[in-house]
Amino acid sequence: KIKLHLLKHLPDNIRRFGLAVRFATEVFECFNAIFRMSSVLSNHQAPSRDIALKNVELDWVKHLLSG
């Protein structure tokens, strides 16, 4: 989803940080849904631990399914 209000800042950001590809964030925003879903069943006492354990579980399943 393109954010048109960011276009206003693009020339300044290119001068400051270089090419826009180097500071694109959209690629990593898809992980927000994964983190959010990983903490749904959490008791929120140790959310980082709960998210890490869920990601380990998902990696284990992915490893088993990929052969």
Residue 64 is predicted with a pLDDT of 93
User: What is the rounded CA–CA span in Å between residue 11 and residue 31?
Assistant: 28
- Which of 61, 35, 62 has the alpha carbon at shortest distance from 48? 35
Q: Which residue has the higher pLDDT, 41 or 2?
A: 41
Residue ranges of domains in the chain: 4-66
Say whether pTM exceeds 0.75: no
User: What is the rounded CA–CA span in Å between residue 56 and residue 41?
Assistant: 16
Would you call 26 helix, strand, or coil by DSSP?
A: helix
Q: What is the pLDDT of residues 10-61, one digit of tens each?
A: 889 889 888 877 666 666 777 788 778 777 777 778 888 888 888 899 899 9
User: What is the rounded CA–CA span in Å between residue 6 and residue 27?
Assistant: 16
